[in-house]
Every structure is written in C-alpha cells, then in structure tokens.
Structure 1
Amino acid sequence: MGIPGLSSWLTKPENYPDIIIPCEEDGQSASHSVKFDNLYLDMNEIIYLLIGSHSSSPIQKEENEIIQSVFISIDRIFSIVRPQKLLYMALDGVAPMAKMNDLRKGRFLHFKKQENKCFDTNLIKPGTPFMSKLSNCLQDYIRYRMNTDPAWRSIKVILSNANVPGEGEHKIMDYIRQQRAEQDHDLNTYHVVYSADSDVILLALTIHTNYFRILRISPSNDTELQRYEFINLAKLRTNLENDLKVPDIFQWNPERAIDDWVFLCFLAGNDFFPNLPLIEFYRKNMNFLRDIYKESSGYLTENGQLNMNQLKKFLTRVAEKQVEIFEKEDQGHNQANNNQPAFSIDSVKHQLSRGNPSTIYLGPPRMNPQRAVPISKKETVKPSSTVPQNSRQRDQRYGEIEQESSEISINNDSNDSARLRGKSWHKKYYREKFNIDLSASKEFPTEVAQDYVRGLHWILQYYFKGVPSWDWYYPHHYAPFACDFSNVKDVSVVFNKTSKPLKPLEQLMAIFPPQYANYLPKQWQQLILDKESPIIDFYPPDFKIDLNESSGYLTENGQLNMNHLKKFLTRVAEKQVEIFEKEDQGHNQANNNQPAFSIDSVKDQLSRGNPSTIYLGPPRMNPQRAVPISKKEAVKPSSTVPQNSRQRDQRYGEIEQESSEISINNDSNDSARLGGKSWHKKYYREKFNIDLRASKEFPTEVAQDYVRGLHWILQYYFKGVPSWDWYYPHHYAPFACDFSNLKDVSVVFNKTSKPLKPLEQLLAIFPPQYAKYLPKQWQQLILDKESPIIDFYPPDFKIDLNGKREESQGVTLLPFVNKEDLLRALESVYSTLTPEEEKRNRHGYDRLFIHTKNPCYKQFSTLYDNNENQITETNPLHISTKLIEDMTGKIWADNDDTFVRIDAPIEDPITKKKIKNNQVLSVNYRNLRFHGDFNDIKYCLNEGDQAINTN
C-alpha cells in the first residue's frame, strides 16, 4: 500500500513533476539510450492490475487467463528495460506482524465491499493454491524464455515466490542493499524496479545511488492503452537536496538529509502504524514538516536508528503546529455555521453515488447525533448455537458470516468523534480513539508514544536494512500526538532478531476473515469458524471502520537520532495545537446557522437502497436514541463448535448476515473533529477511551509505543525486518505534544523472532466470512464461539473515518492478533494438514536460473553430480563476483519436485510448444547477510554517480 498520497504529491506541479520520464515503446525495444543492468518485478503489482480486466468463468479458466496475462506483461516490461545482467521476480511472502493488522483490515473490508467478480483477490496471498500454481507456471515460463530468447539466455533470473517470507518490494531492496554492501560489487550497476507502490520510492532513496529508476504504468484516464513511465530517482534526489539544504546551520550531508526526509514521510503515513494526527500528504502539510525540519540543528536518524533527543525537539515544534491547525479549523467551522449555504441536492447525489452509508441531517449539526432515526437498517443475524461440521452446516455458517459482513460499522461522519475541538482535544482523542480516560491514565499517551517510537525504529530499519523482527507490530489502531513524545525518555528498542516469518498457510490463517475459511486447509478451517476455537477472538463477526479524519537531521544511515527527533516533534506539536484551535474556532462560528435541506435528496437516497439515517432532531455526540424504520432480526452466534458441514454452513450464513452490520461513522459532525481548548483530552477520550484526568501518563505511553514504531519502520526500510513479532498496539497515533515528556524509551526488538507461515498468516488476517479458504479443521478456530481465538474475529466492527472521506482511509477498529495465542490454538489442528497444504505452508528460498552457456554453469552443475562435498541448505556453496558477474550469495541443489534436469523436455506454458532438451538449470539461492549491525550501508556516491544526466 505504501504512503497514502505520496506518489500524487510528488508529481504535482508545485512539487517535483520533472521526475517523470515518459516511456516510448517501438515494438521491439525501448527507445531510451540508457542501458539498464538489473530489472526487478514487484509481481503482486502486476497481478492486481490484471485481475480487474478478467470477468470470464469458470474460475479455473479465469486463473489460466490471468497467468497468461502475467507472462505477457513480463514480456512487455522486459522489452522496455532490456536488462543486461539480472531479472528478479518477487511475489509477496508472509509479512511481519507489524503489517498484520493492515492485512486484516484489507481482508475484512474486502468481504464487505466484494462485488460479483469471477476472480477472488483472496487467492493472491501466500499459502493459497493459486499462488502455488502461479509459482510453478512462472518456473516453466522462465525456462522456456531462457531456452528460446537470446536476450533471456544471457542473463540470470531469480524467482522469489510466495513461500519466501517478506513483502515483494522489500525482498527486492534487501537483495540490492546486500549486494551493494559486498566489497567487489560494481556501485555503477543500474537498477530498474517495476512497481506502482509508493513504498518503492522511499526504499529506492535509502539505497543512495543515482543509478536507479522506477517503472510504472502512467496514471491516465485511458484504460484501453496503458502507457509506462519512469520515475527518475537521480532527479528526485537532486530536488530533495535543493529543498532540504540549510546552509550555515550544521555540517550539511545531503545523503543524511534524504534519509531524514524518508523518515518524515513515515510520520505522514505507513502500513504499520497510524500517521500523526493532521500529518498526511492529503492535507498538503508536508511542507510545514519540511520547514520545521530546516530549522533543526541536527539529524533525526543515523544508520537507520532514531536520534530521540532530536526527535523530541522536532515533535515539540510539530505539536505547536497541530494546535494551530486545530484552532484554525475549529474557528473556520464555527464561522461556517453562522452563515451556511442552502444544501445542494447534487452534493447528496454525489455522495450517494459512491455507494457509501450516508447520513442526512434535517436539524442543526452538532457533535454526534443523540436522536437518530435510521431510514433502514438490516436486522442483526444471530449466529447458530452449534459448530457446523458438515457441508450444509458450513454453508449456513458462510451465509451467517456474509450477512454479518454487511453490518460492519463505518464511522465516516465528517464531523464525528475523530474531529477534535475545544481545549480538551487531547483528552477527547484518547477517550474516543483509545477508550482511555487520561484523567485516570495520565501516562497512557506516553506509552503510546513509546510504542510509536519503537515502530519508527522498526520501519527505519525495515526500509534501510531489512526486517529487524518478523514478530513486532504496532499495538494500537491510532497514533499519538506529537506532544505525547515530550515525556518519552529512554525507549527500549530491542527487536527479536531470531524471529521467524509465518509460513504461507499460517499467514493466510492470520489475515483471512472467517468468510474465506474455504481457502484454508480443511482441518484448519475450524480454527476461525468454531466458536470454541482458542483463537476465535482474532476473527470478529463484526468490526468498525474509523475513517479518521527541525532541530537537526532525524536519521543517519537508517538510524534514528532521538535527540533531534524530539526537537522536531516538539515543533510538530506546536503546529498541531495551532491547527486544532483554528478548527475549533471555525466550528463554533459555523454552528450558528443551519443549511436548508431538500426532501428530494432523501427520496433519492432511499431509492438507492443504501443503509442510511435521517436525523429528525439536532444531532449531537453519539446517538443514544435510534429508532430504526426497519430492522432485521439478530442471529445469535453459536455456542458450540459446528461438527458437520450442515452446521458449519449455517454458521457461514450467520457471519455473512452479521457482516452487513458493520458500523461506519460518516457523520459530518463526528467526534473526530478536534478543536477547542480541550482537544487533547477529547482526542484521548474519544479515540482511546481514556480520561486523561485519571490517566495523565497515557499520552506519554502511547508516544513511547509510537517511538518504538518509528524505530521499527526506520530499520525496516533501511536495513530489513528488525522483528517479525512487533506491532503498534493502538489504533490511533499520539499528538506531537505527547512526545515532550518522553525520556529514555527502551527499543529492543526480538531479533530471533520468526515470520508466520503462509497458512498461519491467512488465519490471522481472514475474517470469519472467508473461513472456507482455510484448511478444513482450521475453520472452526474463527467460526466456533468457544474458540480460544474467537475474539480476533468479531461479528461486527467499526470504521472510524477520522475526518476522511473514504473507508479505505479510515481506522478499522479490529482487535490485534496475538501471535502466541494464534500458534497455540493451531497446535491441535496442525497434524490435519494434507501433504499439498503442508507444501503451501512451508517457508522457501529464492530460485536462481542460469543457462548452460553461462560461464558458471559448470560449477553449478556439480551440485547435482553425487554432491560429494555435501552442499546443502545448512552447508551451501558461496558464490562471488569472480564466479558469476556482479553477484554474490549462497547456493545449493534445487530439490523441489518441480525441478527440471538438463536435456529434459519442457513446454511453453502459453502456447504449449515443446522443447526436447532443456538447457536451463535452477538452484536454490540465498542472499548474503549484512555484516555486523548493518552499519556498512554505502553512502558515498562515486564520480560516475555524480555524473549521471538527471534529465
């Protein structure tokens, strides 16, 4: 997903539109003059782009069509770039736990909004039969191309399939980063990555080279003819250097300044923990972050680590800006309500045309309606009382899940509880977002800030060096405010470096909702379907969606400078307060006059059949008296595990019906509006459910968590996964002012953590409605009400739009998955996996393909000649740049059942043309690891780098 709004922000006329280079194709080769060495393909980007263009049936034909289209896309991209040395294809493997909540959000929302399409995107997850099939077909495709095309024959090809842990783009960057760390590597190697993910832009900047371009499909309205374009990283680097340069303040290092800019982007949005309130590209306020940063006196990061002292100074300034924004917006809101224009029926129609649950107010809008009369509301369907064990019961359970999914509560009220006004905005934020009363939990914001700091450490290492931990994740749905970092002191940031990723099927289980249980192994399905499952709590039948409306360098070589970060966040906190106070002032003025309303717009809305609510009285905060015009009966969840297919199908039916009750807060006057003098208290009261009068330290605690998140994400982007287990434990972020009390934050990630397995991840991220995608005996874990993890799979949930317009931008209020509980629940059903499911569930390695004409072929072939030297996975053969051009790593024999020997017959997976004598050899390949503590990232650009033409 990447950073919301980053790609479009970069190319706006007022920013850096000159980084785009149109790509012209002449049918044979690219018309550009640059010779590219290595081409890397983010395969999931290719697949997702293609699935929207196929609608045929049956599903088997659809899979084959998509796979063939993937091959055609690869051929076209290959002809554009013409790589001279290497082609690297990366499919998404299992993700770190820090990403798991984002994956769960995607799967739970997918079922709610699913359309009648032939191909199910749930299949594009590690551990599914489709991904296994695609991997096998890609191997056949690679062999055929290398046997028949001279352009392929002369290069090396690496396939990193879905059984290899890690996100595709991060696997690519890990390879580039670690190859560049080798002494004999040619630093002038020119890299091209195909991906539309904005993450790749930031990752590419952490490589610190001008020899880098990103290829993507041009964002155009012309859907018939898709054109490609390059993003010129050399030009972007030059632009950033010019914008960030601060002469005569401290010793200028453009590479470290770019690292800090990457870090600032994390504050505006990422996939691992929420952005700081009001800090996002959509609000066009990255410029004030840059301006605050340019007032700094040091770096925020260093070698992928945070400088906490600098961060606190920075956030102090940000906090000031937040208050300024709040006050301005509230002032504008109050002014607007004094003289509101007549309501436009076109605006109602436009809103309704989006198909979102909408609210129309007949009275003066105030903070969250107290008297609400819904026009229509689906009745709650009660789950069955027994666990389905046969097909009929399972189908009925599927029906339940599908019905439940339509009831997900989405908070997209533009004036909902996420809008913080008044002087108590800070307390309100934690009360409404975290359900924390700061009057009783004063340290909570600091704890959240500490978690956020750990997240910053994690993501910094992840982007700069690789996964610091497979287990870590941010444990909150929201971020703290910048001011919450002020009390953060020493944050312990120790990631479990021994953590391991989940296996593919484990990840499917972790991310799929119960509605996709049929994608899991048969015996696994009960883990997300059975109400008695020990992990049933991971799969709620319903959930909410909250739309949620420098003093120096922050980083050095992918490390956070905590001293500089605190200074920076102090400035951010100042801005946050400024924004809140202005918002609140505007809101108070706006409430003095109400708009006229057209009854025709009500009729128009009703004719669309959307879940809608009409308020007959002045709406206030949180509806207490709701009179539904129509309401379906609630279906009670089952109390025992479904034992046969009929019972299980009945439980599915319950979940399907329950899913229709998802609550979306789209009230234009919701509690997400933070304004007035109490905006801080209000924020924590409404977002965290914390009364700061009783929990004064809570914002600091949130800030501590946030700092840990900053550490995590910094390491993730700069060095690799710092921990597979860590995650941010809140749904919301703290304010910048909450960082002011931070002292020493302990940031220690479990470096021994391991990733989930593919099916485990499916279980973790799938809602109950997708239980059918899980192994049969696993399904009860997300369907059975007695399941030990049933709390992970709520029958309903809320979406807090949090000031946003679109559901995808809101905060999905789902419970966080506990990895230990999930794995413990699986112990009783692991033995039920079939051999085919076991294969899909295991972790794997990259596969390297070379032609017999390659100079290193002779040595590679010895791996299959009785293997006298016992070259194995635990004792691999080390290859160097002297053996194989500009590439290092470790290899051993490919012992997979898909291995094809030299001279064996093969066929083209598209045309089915046969080749009698295969001349392509495959071996298992493992990239080298960084030496030491990732401190050898190469910053220095050589003369050739500096001389690149950036036009």
Structure 2
Amino acid sequence: MGVPGLFAFLKRRYSVIARLVTKQEDGSWDVAAPADALYVDMNHIIHSCTHANAGRDGTPYDEDVAFQRMDAYLTALLEVAGGLGAGPIAAEAPGPSPPASSSPQRPSPLRLLFVAIDGVAPIAKMNQQRTRRFLSAHVAEVTDRVEREVRAEMASQAGGGRVIPEMANSRFDPNIISPGTAFMGRVAERVRQILRTKVQTDPRFARLRVVVSDSYEPAEGEHKIMRFIRYIRTRPDYDPNTRHVIYGQDADLLLLSLLLHEPHVRIMREAQPEKQPNIAAAAAAAKKQLQQRTQPRGREPGSGSGARGGPHATGAVSAGGFGAAANSPGDTDSGSVCPTFEEVDISLLRECLRWEFAELCGTPDGRPLAAGYEAMEEDEEEGEVEEMAEDEREKKGEVEAADSEGEAEEEGVGTWAEEGMEVEVEG
C-alpha cells in the first residue's frame, strides 16, 4: 500500500538519495554495487504486464503474452541487480527465456532471490480494496452501456448504409488480481516455472537460491519481504555486510526499509521520466507496431508511417528495451525504448533525515543524542547565569531605592522641625 507523493517529496528535498540506473554501451547496468540478495514485490509487475495492451488497441487480452512479459521483467531485474549484461528475449512466442548465449557468462553475484506476491491483506486494506474493485466494476459497466448507446446512435445516423465493425472484447478485469483466484494460482505456478528454468539453463544464475511466497501466504508483498529479511538476520550464518536490493513501486518501502536498520539497503523502482513509457506499455507499443508493419500498405489507416520498416522488421524484445521493437535500419518513426530504473540508498536517506532533525536528535556522528543534550545543558546554564544576574540587579536596585527613601525622609524631618511643626512619636 503506497503513500502518495512521498517518494517525489523525498526526491525533491534530498536529491542525492536517488540515482538513475541505465544500460551502458557494453550491455551492463551502471548500478552502484552488485547486490547479494534481491527481493521483488510482484504487485506492480503483475498489474503492468496484464494491463499493457488490453482494451487500448483492440487486441484481446492474451495471458501467455502477459506471462512472457513477467519472464522478461524478472530476467531484467536479475541482470540489473547483478550488474550483468543481457541478451535478446523473444517477444511473440510465449515460453521461457532463451539461454543467454550472447550475454557474458560471468556468474551473477546474487546469492538469493525472494519473490513476494500479495496475499490476504489486513481488514482495513481489504475494505479499501473491496471499495475500489466495486467502483472499477461499476465504471466498466457504465462504459459498456455508453459505448453501446453511442454505437447505436452512429448506426442510425449512418442510415444503415455503413456497418460499424464490432470491437473485440479486450477489456481486462483487474478484479482477478486478488488472492484466492485461479489467475493468481496460475501466476504463482508460472513464476516458479520461469525461475526454475532460469536457474537450470542460465549458468549465470546456477548458484542462485530462489524463494517464492505466493498469494496463499497472508500479508502484502512488501511486508513479506521485511519479515523475511528479519528472519535471515537471526540465522547464525548471516553476513551483516549483505547488500540488499528491494524492488517495488510502493513508497512505503522507504519507511519500512528505514526500520530495518541495515547498513546496505537500496530500493530499486522503475523510473518514469517524462515522455518515456513504462516497460509494459513499451511492450504493447512494440506489438502494435509489429502488427501494423506486417499488414499490406494502404489497407489499414495509420499503417503508412509504421510500415516504413517493411515486413522484415522484427519485434524482438531486447533486455534493454523490455518490449521495444527492434527497428530495422530504415526505420525513423520510433527508436528502441531503453527503460531506466531508479535506486534509492536507504543509508543515505537515513543520514539526510538525521541532519534534517539534528536540532532535535543530535548530529549523525555516532552520538545521536549527546549533542542535543549538551546544547540543552548549555542553554540551561546560560539561563541560570542570566537569572542570577537579573536577581542581583533587582536586589541592587531595591537597596538603592531604600537608601534614597531614607535620605528623603531625613531631609523631610529637618524641614518640618525648622518650620515649627510637631512630630508625634508613639510609645
């Protein structure tokens, strides 16, 4: 469950905590340091891969293509976290990723991969999810009704001379992305199959240990990740210098990672620069572009600019593009989309927060509270000195006032005696 605007706020306020991770010319990724353990929250990946093209270009939803995008996404995350190069990944035919024969065969430094799929959420989140899903179903029903009415009105205005083609039923129902559904069971099974094949066939990940937590285990993906990290910290063979990389789009991962108090934690997320589609949208655009290119010229509107590459253009999804079409040499209408990731250094964020609140909790120099206490003691001592000086000034003023009053009384008595006035004394 995300926190709207939190990541953008922290990124604006502490610009040094985030850096872009892009693919270099040699095929590797310029990560800050290769990770030892990668933790993946599948929530964003599932939504992004299933919503990529359903209902946008009339293409019916294809579950095999969605699973193939998940395969490409997981492969890319493994390569990015390990700082490895990548080879091409087929775009059209569903199936496991091909062996990385064109990629460097250097073994990945990753020792652990933990994949978490959202399970049953707490009751408060369940109520929120139920509200959103009922609203989504209602909006879809209203949209279908309005579409039918508009099509009927257009047909009546055409006078029956033209036939409006029926649109394919390509709308994807997001309510199936819920714990306990058959779709989530197929997702868990396919993810296990993808990772099993990758460990067995790709020599780079031969030593990788894989743990998959499916939707039958309660809690959201990010909370499963935190619980697993705390569990491995209790093991006697745990290395305190382990470099953890957590992938997820939810901003609450920043807060949860701060609570881990681990020295080497980075949050990796898919960057969304301006005018750049996300990974799944790039895959959908590549597929649409391929369909336009393979159609004869002049048959479909809008195919003229997209067919300039000719029918020989392929739709291979490169590891640098995650669905971007591999453009032919003569193509100029669109370039290959190379997505970027962002990584946030949690230790750097923690230090920025310490400096931000140093007035309250001290400076981040190993003495988190001593500096604050010393400042408070100095303020108290200065206040006590000022109070003592004020008291002395008040006492001195009272003495001077009393002396002046005594002198005035003596002067008054002498004057009265000289004038012959009688002074009565009791006693």
Report the equivalent of 1:119. Answer: 172
Find the partner of 2:350 among 237, 241, 257. Answer: 237
CA contact (8 A) 2:53 2:59 kept: no
What amino acid is the match of 1:234?
Answer: S
Match of 1:99 in 2: 125
Within 5 A, what are the aligned runs for 1:808-847? none
The corresponding residue for 1:89 is 115
Q: Please say if residues 38 and 85 of structure 1, whose CA atoms lie closer than 8 Å, have aligned partners that are also in contact.
A: yes
* Larger relative contact order (Cα-Cα within 8 Å, sequence gap ≥ 6): 1
**Structure 1 pair 63–180 and aligned structure 2 pair: CA distance change class (3 A):** same
Q: Does 1:147 align with 2:200?
A: yes
Alignment map for 1:931-946 (pairs within 5 Å): none
Match of 2:209 in 1: 156
Cα distance in structure 1, aligned partners of 2:190 and 2:364: 53
Give the equivalent residue in structure 2 for 1:54. Answer: 53
Q: Which one of the candidate residues 256, 268, 279 is aligned to 1:203?
A: 256
* Cα separation, 2, equivalents of 1:182 and 1:206: 19
**Native 8 Å contact 1:38 1:190 kept in 2:** yes
Secondary structure of the 2:115 match is strand
Report the secondary structure of 2:231's partner residue.
helix
Q: 5 Å matches for 1:324-363?
A: none
Change (3 A) 1:112 1:24: same
Secondary structure at the residue paired with 2:259? helix
How many Å apart are 1:41 and its aligned residue? Answer: 0.7
1:330-382 deviation digits (Å, cap 9, x = unpaired): xxxxxxxxxxxxxxxxxxxxxxxxxxxxxxxxxxxxxxxxxxxxxxxxxxxxx
Partner of 1:24: 22
Counting only pairs closer than 5 Å after superposition, residues 633-652 of structure 1 correspond to structure 2 as none
Contact 1:45–1:195 (CA<8 Å) still a contact in 2?
Answer: yes
3-state secondary structure, aligned to 2:249: coil
2:359 counterpart residue number: 246
2:349 maps to a residue whose letter is L
CA contact (8 A) 2:355 2:363 kept: no
Secondary structure, aligned partner of 1:54: coil
Would you say the 8 A contact 1:241–1:254 is kept in 2?
A: no
Equivalent position SS for 2:359 = coil
Q: Work out whether residues 28 and 79 of structure 1, in 8 Å CA contact, stay in contact via their aligned partners in 2.
A: no
Aligned residues: 258
* Paired amino acid for 2:353: L
Name the counterpart of 2:37: 38
Matched residue, 2:238: 185
User: Are the counterparts in 2 of residues 63 and 130 from structure 1 also a CA contact under 8 Å?
Assistant: no
Q: Is the Cα–Cα contact under 8 Å of residues 119 and 179 in structure 2 kept in the other structure? A: yes
Q: Report how far residue 33 of structure 1 moved.
A: 5.2
Q: Deviations over 1:510-539 (max 9, x none)?
A: xxxxxxxxxxxxxxxxxxxxxxxxxxxxxx
SS at match of 1:213: strand
Q: CA deviation at 1:54?
A: 1.7
Contact 2:258 2:350 in 1 (8 A): yes
Normalising by structure 2, report the TM-score.
Answer: 0.55
- Per-residue deviation, 1:214: 0.7
Opposite residue 80 of structure 2, the aligned amino acid is I
Residue 213 of structure 1 corresponds to 266
SS of the residue 1:165 aligns to: coil
Deviation of 1:132 (Å): 0.9
Structure 1 residue 31 displacement after superposition: 2.5
Cα deviation digits, residues 250-294 of structure 1 (max 9, x gap) = 9998889xxxxxxxxxxxxxxxxxxxxxxxxxxxxxxxxxxxxx9
Aligned to 1:69: 69
Once the 2 structures are TM-superposed, how far is the Cα of residue 148 of structure 1 from its aligned partner?
Answer: 0.7
Q: Which position in structure 2 is the counterpart of 1:108?
A: 134
CA contact 1:39–1:191 (8 Å) conserved in 2:
yes
The answer on whether the counterparts of 1:44 and 1:168 sit within 8 Å (CA) in structure 2 is yes
- Whether the aligned pair in 2 keeps the contact of 1:204 and 1:212 (CA below 8 Å) is yes
Change (3 A) 1:227 1:185: same
Distance in 1 of aligned mates of 2:260 and 2:66: 33
Give the TM-score normalised by structure 1.
0.26
3-state SS, counterpart of residue 87 of structure 1 = strand
Partner residue in 2 for 1:8: 8
Say whether the 8 Å CA contact 1:63–1:119 is kept in structure 2.
no
1:254–1:137 Cα change, 3 Å: farther
Residue in 1 that maps onto 2:290: none
Following the alignment from structure 1 to structure 2, what is the Cα–Cα distance between the partners of residues 229 and 139? 26
Answer whether contact 1:11 1:19 (CA < 8 A) is retained: yes
Post-superposition offset of 1:219: 2.4
* Structure 1 pair 249–232 and aligned structure 2 pair: CA distance change class (3 A): closer
1-structure distance, mates of 2:341, 2:20: 7
Counterpart in the other structure of 1:227: 340
Q: Are positions 1:80 and 2:80 aligned together?
A: yes
Deviation at 1:184, TM superposition (A): 3.8
Residues 209/48 of structure 1: CA separation in 2 closer, same or farther (3 Å cut): same
SS at match of 2:178: coil
**Residue correspondence of structure 1 range 341-740 to structure 2 within 5 A:** none
8 Å contact kept, 2:354–2:364: no
Q: Partners in 1 of 2:177 and 2:47 — Cα distance?
A: 8
Residue type matched to 2:181 in 1? T
User: 1:71: how far off?
Assistant: 0.6
How far is 1:17 from its partner?
A: 1.4
**Matches of 1:194 and 1:17 in 2, distance apart?**
20
User: 1:109–1:33: structure 2 CA closer, same or farther, 3 Å change rule?
Assistant: same
The 1-side partners of 2:361 and 2:72 are apart by: 54
Higher helix share: 2
Structure 2 vs 1, CA of residues 250 and 197 (structure 1 numbering), >3 Å: closer, same or farther? closer
Q: Distance in 1 between matches of 2:363 and 2:63?
A: 57
Query: Corresponding residue for 1:428?
Result: none
Q: Secondary structure in 1 aligned to 2:238?
A: coil
Distance 1:169 1:253 in 2: 30
Q: What amino acid does structure 2 have at the position aligned with 1:88? A: F
Q: Report Cα offsets for 1:404-456 as digits up to 9, x if no partner.
A: xxxxxxxxxxxxxxxxxxxxxxxxxxxxxxxxxxxxxxxxxxxxxxxxxxxxx
Letter in 1 for 2:206: R
Q: CA deviation at 1:121?
A: 1.0
Does the aligned pair in 1 maintain the 2:118–2:219 contact within 8 Å?
Answer: yes
Rounded Cα–Cα distance in structure 2 between residues aligned with 1:19 and 1:184: 30
The one-letter amino acid of 2:340's match is R
What does the per-residue CA deviation read over 1:31-66, in whole Å, with 9 as the maximum and x for residues that have no partner?
A: 33512100011111111222332227786x522111
Preserved CA contact (<8 Å) 1:62 1:118? no
Q: Read off the aligned partner of 1:202 and give its amino acid letter.
A: L
- 1:249 positional shift: 8.2
Q: Tell me how far 1:77 sits from its aligned partner.
A: 1.2
Shift of 1:28: 3.7
Contact between 1:204 and 1:233, CA under 8 Å: does it hold in 2?
yes
CA distances 1:608-627 after superposition (whole Å, capped 9, x unpaired): xxxxxxxxxxxxxxxxxxxx
Amino acid at match of 2:128: D
Please state which structure has a larger fraction of its residues in strand: 1
Take 1:248 and 1:78, find their aligned partners in 2: how far apart are those partners? 39
C-alpha contact 2:270 2:340 (8 A) present in aligned 1: yes
In structure 1, what is the Cα distance between the partners aligned to 2:368 and 2:258?
9
Partners of 1:249 and 1:87 in 2: how far apart?
37
The aligned amino acid for 1:187 is P
Q: Which residue of 1 aligns with 2:184?
A: 131
Q: 1:250 to 1:74 in 2, by over 3 A?
A: closer
TM-aligned CA deviation for residue 183 of structure 1: 4.2
SS at match of 1:127: coil
